[in-house]
Amino acid sequence: MLGINQRVLTMTLFALLFSTQARSPLVDLKVRKDAIKRSRVKAPPMDPKLEAQIKDSFFDPNYDYSEFTGRVTDRDDTNSLVKVSSENGNIKFFRSGDLVRFRLASQETRQCRGYVRSVEKNFFVLYIQDISICWGKGEYFRRGSLLVFNSSTLAARVRDASTYRIVLLKRKRDFYKQLNDINHFVWSYEQEKMKVAAEYDEKITALRQAKQKALDMMITKKQDSINLQRELGVRLDELDKDIEFYRIDKDDPKIDRWHLDHDLGKPVAKRPKRNYFAQ
């Protein structure tokens, strides 16, 4: 019984090993790439309100931004400093020393001149050098009086602020785009990591295949070289035989005769004479 279990276990391990080795690495890369595409996180789209604000700067060239209203909320004993409240949000663009013309809402002709002393939210302090010029002597603005103001400086500042606001909105749009790119990278880090790993695995697999192909080619080239080496050796031996066969000898009867007599033991000189057969 124990031998049967071992046999079954061995067959199971062999089947798993065979299936793992038979699976192509390119198939794994394809599966991983498909998983990355399905799990990709899309970055949030650009806020449409921001694009609309860039196109519309909220500045109407046909509207008179120099004129607005306000009410007297406080004054000093000399009637030269008057604190005015206004619901017009553009008074925040006033600066100390700006010239402002104003009148009572009930008076159309009398125009007064004042200079901005300070500005705070929904309030500004106006300095009136001589109220008798536009108002009677001994007169003063009662608290709650409705005044109509006019300032060309404020209108110019509003126009410049509108232009600068467009620049700021475009800068905000660029920051949003940069932030979206960063968020996309952070959110999809694991997917991008898998993608990069899959790309390099594909390159490694291709490089291994190229390496194996080059090694196989070298083995084939080695076998061809061995066969060629053997063939060239045979041909060189045959060529040496032919070269030896076709060697041309120079016949010298004097030398040949001396060697023959010397071998037979006949009395001959120690050395053959040079001109033995000379004319």
Residue 165: name the closest of 54, 51, 46, 50 by CA. 54
pLDDT digits (tens, 9 = 90+) for 9-19: 455 544 444 44
User: How many angstroms from the chain centroid is the CA of residue 234?
Assistant: 65
pLDDT digits (tens, 9 = 90+) for 207-263: 999 999 999 999 999 999 999 999 999 999 999 988 888 888 765 555 555 565 665
- Kindly state the percentage of the chain with pLDDT values over 90: 24
Domains and CATH numbers, the chain: 67-150 (2.40.30.170), 251-279 (no CATH)
- What is residue 132's DSSP assignment? G
DSSP track, 14-68: HHHHHHHHHS-HHHHHHHHHHHHHHTPPPPPPPPHHHHHHHH--S--TTS-TTEE
pLDDT digits (tens, 9 = 90+) for 136-180: 666 677 888 888 899 999 999 998 988 888 888 888 888 988 998
Q: Would you state the pLDDT for residue 2?
A: 41
Beta bridge partners of 100: 114
| Joined tokens for residue 127 | 């300095």
Q: Would you state the pLDDT for residue 216?
A: 94
Q: Would you state the pLDDT for residue 77?
A: 79
Residue 248 has phi, psi (to 5 degrees) of -105, 125
